[in-house]
Amino acid sequence: MSVRTSRALRAVAAGVALALAGTLLAGCSSDGRETIRFTFSKREALAFMNGVVDRYNASQDRVRVEMDTSGVDVVSASFVRGNPPDIMLANYNYETARFVQRCALSDLSGTTAASTTRDDLQALMDQYGSCPGRVSALPYSVMAASVIYNEDLFAQAGIDVPTTWDELLAACAKLTAAGITPFYATFKDDWTVGQGWYDYSVGGSVDVVDFFNRLAAEGDAVGPDAATSFQKDFTAPLEKMTQLTSQFVNADAASRGYGDGNLAFAKGEAAMYLQGPWAFSEIAKTAPDLNLGTFPLPMTDDPADLRVRVNMDLAAMIPEGSRHKDAARDFLEYLYRPETIEAYNAAQLGFTPTTDAPAPDDPRIAGMIPFYTAGKVYQGPSVLVPKTIPVFNYVQAVVLGASPEATLRTMDADWARLAFRAPAPTTETEESGQ
């Protein structure tokens, strides 16, 4: 045996030994407790969740939770390797929903946590897909977003919060006449156009759940002759959107990004800003005492159509491949205790998705509370298409001058192409090999 071969064999042996040691350590801590790996995807809330983990670990002597913040790409790879995390709190989007669609997550329907979550949110969860017969994911934090407005500038111009499209146009005209820019726009960053202008305009005009159900039924037939399409259903909302973006935004919107918008809005350079509550902390760095409120963007002349955009900012999941499901469920129930889940959402300006949770007490988001409470919400259409359809780029092009109709025709073609290549739906029985 050559020296090189001998070294190679020793390296392989060492690697196997380390892997075995890691496997053993993953299941048992030094004090004999069952160890579970907890994936958490919100880095900005890491300090809060580390505190939750520490309190849980100190509260009992059976289970030890270890935090994993490696991100969705690493988590996806762990599913492929057959070593997924034991429990996840992750952004609920097309990336994480793939695990739901493939029935790779265990059924949580029998948990106490599931019995406390709002039933009306399930339709929003199911928009990303489902595994028949299972509750694969539970909402943990709902982030609501709408128009942020400067209450002092509204008062200065003598206008009330608009509740119809005509009232919105009248408010914009009155603000302009008073020398106040109605909206601060940041078209340089395409995501700000997608999550704000596009989502609010479409969501305020169209039943988003119904639209995407009908679109899915069209499959690869989506196009000019289809009963449902982006072009047919979204052209009118986007034309209204461009009416606002061409007349009532800052002149330099095309060259301004998210950071510019936070600073300018904090300095009172516009009355309205299409961002979510995550912008409040950035605005407060410059103007901590600014009087801000929120309201849904009115896109029709019926106030009953008003809704706010929401996304499932975090959802809880326990992979089917976990070797420690019972321990993971114990920690899941701890996460859903009112004192834990409500404190998390209060800290993040999120809405708690449980049935008996109190409304948020931050006055800046008070304008959204009646809509969330009544279930008058929608998920942004920008997040309900696969990432292979570059919707942010498309709608950015629209606010910069591209034709809404032509752009939506392109989206129809993209959707049809993806639907044509998509595999047939897999049933739970097929997925499990039974």
The CATH number assigned to the domain holding 67 equals 3.40.190.10
pLDDT tens digit sequence for 65-100: 999 987 766 677 677 677 899 999 998 887 778 888
Q: b or e along 204-240 (b: 16 or more beta carbons within 10 Å of the residue's beta carbon)? A: bbbebeebbebbeebeeebeeebebbbbebbbebbeb
Note the pLDDT of residue 80: 65
Do residues 252 and 184 both lie within one domain?
yes
Structural domains in the chain (count): 2
Q: Could you tell me if residue 60 is inside a domain?
A: yes
**In this structure, are 290 and 200 located in the same domain?**
yes
Domain that holds residue 210: 144-310+379-421
Q: Is residue 128, in this structure, part of any structural domain at all? A: yes
Position 12 pLDDT exceeds 60: no
Whole-model pTM: value is 0.84
Q: Are 238 and 318 found together in one domain?
A: no
Q: Is position 430 within any domain?
A: no
Q: Same domain, yes or no, for 233 and 361?
A: no
User: HEC string of the chain?
Assistant: CCHHHHHHHHHHHHHHHHHHHHHHHHHECCCCCEEEEEEECCHHHHHHHHHHHHHHHHHCCCEEEEEECCCHHHHHHHHHCCCCCCEEEECCCHHHHHHHHCCCECCCCCCHHHHHECHHHHHHHHCCCCCCCCCCCEEEEEEEEEEEEEHHHHHHHCCCCCCCHHHHHHHHHHHHHCCCCCEECCCCCHHHHHHHHHHHHHHCCCCHHHHHHHHHHHHHHCCCCCCCCHHHHHHHHHHHHHHHHHHCECCCHHHCCHHHHHHHHHCCCCCEEEECCHHHHHHHHHCCCCCEEEECCCCCCCHHHCCEEEEEEEEEECECCCCCHHHHHHHHHHHCCHHHHHHHHHHHCCECCECCCCCCCCHHHHHHHHHHHCCCEEECHHHCCCCCCCHHHHHHHHHCCCCHHHHHHHHHHHHHHHHHHCCCCCCHHHHHCC
Higher pLDDT, 316 or 25: 316
Do 287 and 409 lie in one domain? The reply is: yes
Q: Is residue 366 part of a domain?
A: yes
**49: in domain:** yes
- The answer to whether residues 287 and 399 belong to one domain is yes
Whether 429 maps to a domain, the answer reads no
Spatial distance between the Cα atoms of 219 and 243, rounded to a whole number of angstroms: 32
| Structural domain includes residue 431 | no
Residues 243 and 372 in one domain: no
pLDDT tens by residue, 193-244: 999 999 999 999 999 999 999 999 999 999 999 999 999 999 999 999 999 9
Quick one: 361 and 404 in the same domain? no
Q: How far is residue 290's CA from residue 305's CA, in Å, rounded to a whole number?
A: 29
Does one domain contain both 100 and 119?
Answer: yes
Q: Each residue of 382-409: pLDDT tens digit?
A: 999 988 999 999 999 999 999 999 999 9
Rounded CA separation 126/92 (Å):
11
137 falls within a domain: yes
3-class secondary-structure state, position 382: helix
241 and 341 together in one domain: no
Q: Are residues 52 and 168 in the same domain?
A: no
pLDDT at 290: 97
User: Each residue of 15-70: pLDDT tens digit?
Assistant: 433 343 344 344 655 678 899 999 998 988 999 999 999 999 999 999 999 999 87
Per-residue model confidence (pLDDT) at position 49: 96
Using 50, 70 and 90 to split pLDDT, how confident is the model at 127? confident
- Mark whether 169 and 261 lie in a shared domain: yes
